[in-house]
Amino acid sequence: MAGVPFDQREGVIWYDGEFVPWSDARVHVLTHGLHYGSSVFEGQRAYGGVIFKLQEHTDRLIASGRELGFEIPYSADDINKACYELLERQGLKDAYFRPVAWRGSEMMGISAQSNTIHLAIAAWEWPSYFTMEERLKGLRLGMAEYRRPDPATAPYKAKAAGLYMICTISKHAAEAAGYADALMLDYRGQVAEATGANVFFVKDGEIHTPKPDCFLDGITRRTVIDLAKQRGINVIERAIMPEELADFEQCFLTGTAAEVTPVREIADYNFEVGEIVKQLVEDYDAVVQPNAAAQAAE
């Protein structure tokens, strides 16, 4: 299905409690979520027929809706059941999921108190966010122009569609300059994250990562921190200034789509694809793959 537009793919999408043909999963042009960004979403993966940390993703989806002031009209159990039934109907074992909830089109304006809350879930086969060649060599990142906003100005704990506008702009600019992605600073000028993944650095056998106090604390991020601690590696969550990049030896990104991906360059700073990064790549793969195989066999 590579290269096929996402509105022309085959199969079904779970839409407001029903499975509808893929091409029929549509919204009106005056949908509030399109005009005012009142939409939240998730990204999660299935490995070997098991959706990794589905409950955590579903809980975050529901919490994200509440951050934007709306209640998704389905329980976590309803959503989880729909995801697994969708996986079966699509005939997939390894897949990427995109649940998305949004305000509908009953009212068109800043206020949308009476708008219906919709929920859809799509699943498709999707390899790593970055190519295997990029992952093995390590990514090249540029520096983003835009910064993650002050938490007093945006609901940063929500995985909200509107918060990704500057990410798309920044990633496009990075790709135009020959990079795979971009590193974003926050409103204080501190290192924050990449456009769709959390960032980690290694120095003297310890891992350093920015505190998620103005950007999303990723589920994969937390998983990898736990894996590092199980290895006896000290993980330090702190403010990191961009000039510190010169002192770090290794760097990597984490995310549901990115999984664990080494970074070899950020602008003028270079890193090695070292042993700690390689070990965490293996450890993460070991968590998702055998775990999936064992549960699928039950």
240-272 pLDDT tens trace: 999 999 999 999 999 998 999 999 999 999 999
Angle between helices 54-67 and 76-89 (to 10 degrees): 120
Q: Encoding tokens for residue 124?
A: 């498709």
Write out pLDDT tens, residues 44-78. Answer: 999 999 999 999 999 999 999 999 999 999 999 99
132 burial type by CB count under 10 A (0-12 exposed, 13-18 middle, 19+ buried): exposed
The CATH number of the structural domain formed by 12-124 is 3.30.470.10
Q: How far is CA 202 from CA 16, 63, 82, 95, 234, in A?
A: 44, 32, 40, 31, 10
CATH code 3.20.10.10 region(s) in the chain: 132-289
Q: How far apart are CA 136 and CA 104, in angstroms?
A: 43
- Structure confidence at residue 296 (pLDDT): 44
Using the Cα atoms of residue 76, residue 82, residue 87 and residue 90 in order, give the sign of their dihedral: negative
- Structure confidence at residue 137 (pLDDT): 83
Instruction: Give yes or no: 159 in active site.
Output: yes
User: Any residues with CB less than 8 A from the CB of 118 and at least 6 apart, and which?
Assistant: 15, 16, 27, 101, 102, 103, 104
Write out pLDDT tens, residues 146-182. Answer: 999 999 999 999 999 999 999 999 999 999 999 999 9
The catalytic residue among 137, 159, 229, 278 is 159
CATH class of the domain whose range is 132-289: alpha beta
The bridge status of strand 206-210 relative to strand 235-238 is: parallel
Mean pLDDT of the residues in the chain? 94
CATH code 3.30.470.10 region(s) in the chain: 12-124
